[in-house]
Amino acid sequence: MATPALEVTGLKDLQRSFRRISKDLDKALKVELAAVAEPVRIAATGLAMSEIPNMTDRWSQMRIGMSRYVVYMVPKAHKLRRRGGQESRPNLSTLLLDRAMTPALDDNTEAISAGMERMLDRLTEWE
C-alpha cells in the first residue's frame, strides 16, 4: 500500500541550513511545519468521522509528527488487541488511509503550498 505524500523539494537542505544558522531558527521551522500540516489533520479527523462506518472519536483523532526530514500524520490512538491476539478492526488502517488521510491531503495541497510560502517568507525575515 502506497503512502500518500506531498514532497517539498529541498526541505532536507532547508532544515540543515536553518539548523546551522541557529537552534532557535530550527525550532521555529519545526513549529511552522506543524502549523502548515494542521489543516490536513483537521480535515482527516472530520473525514474519518463522516466517511468510515462505526468510527469512534478515539480513532478519528490524528496527530502531526516529525522526523528529521519528514512531517507526517498518524492516528493518536494505538492498536488494541482482544484476548487471543486478534485486532478488533484489522481493516481500520486501510480505511483511514483511503477514506480520510489521502483525501485530506489531496484537498489541502494548495493550502499546504501557500502555507509553505508564507512560512518561508516569515522565517527568511528572522532576526
Q: Which pLDDT belongs to residue 96?
A: 94
The reply to whether 54 falls in a domain is yes
Number of folded domains that form the chain: 1
Judge contact between 120 and 59, C-beta under 8 A: no
Using a cut of 0.75, tell me whether the model's pTM lies above it: yes
Half-sphere exposure of residue 109: CA atoms within 13 angstroms, side-chain side: 9
Cell of 109: 495541497
Domain range for residue 26?
Answer: 11-77+88-114
The reply to whether 17 falls in a domain is yes
Amino acid at 79: K
The reply to whether 46 falls in a domain is yes
The reply to whether 99 falls in a domain is yes
The reply to whether 44 falls in a domain is yes
With cell 489531496, the residue in question is: 106
Q: Show the low-confidence residues of the chain (pLDDT under 70).
A: 1-4, 80-88, 126-127
- DSSP letter string over 8-30? -TTHHHHHHHHHHH-HHHHHHHH
